[in-house]
Amino acid sequence: MGDTALKPVVLLNQSAAGNGTAFLLDYRFGGMVQRNIVTVSMNAADTITIQGSVDGGVTWVQAAAPRTGGAGPFIDTITGPFTHLRIAKTGAAGGAVVQGII
């Protein structure tokens, strides 16, 4: 079996409130996998939440504490057997950029 290559990805880049795109994660080895997520920039009036799914993107749970305040960058390390990952943004006061190594 070959090595798994992690790659940097822009998980969210938007001004509007709502859920970002769901990203399929490499979870074939099962167990708990750590992934680093960086909120690069956001408006102080908005909130960014990292969400994970263990059932193929049907049900979403909060994978890290929500980030507010806009004084990033914020770095979160999430650990879990997630099959999918997405970013939820509340508030439409300004743009937000979230990147991850997935």
- 64: in domain: yes
Residue 47 or 27, more confident: 47
45 token code pair: 């009036």
**Domain annotation covers residue 1:** no
Range of the domain at 59: 8-101
Q: How far apart are CA 99 and CA 29, in angstroms?
A: 23
Tens-digit pLDDT profile for residues 31-78: 677 788 888 889 889 999 999 998 889 999 999 999 988 778 899 998
Q: Does residue 2 lie within any of the structural domains?
A: no
The answer to pTM > 0.75 is yes
What CATH number is given to the structural domain containing 90? 2.60.120
The secondary structure of the chain as a DSSP string is -PPPPP-EEEEEEESSSEE---EE---TT-S-EEEEEEEEE--TT-EEEEEEESSSSSS-EE-S--EESS---EEEEEEE--SEEEEEEE--SS-EEEEEE-
> What's the number of domains the chain is made of?
1
The predicted structure's pLDDT at residue 70 = 78
pLDDT over 90 (residue 7)? no
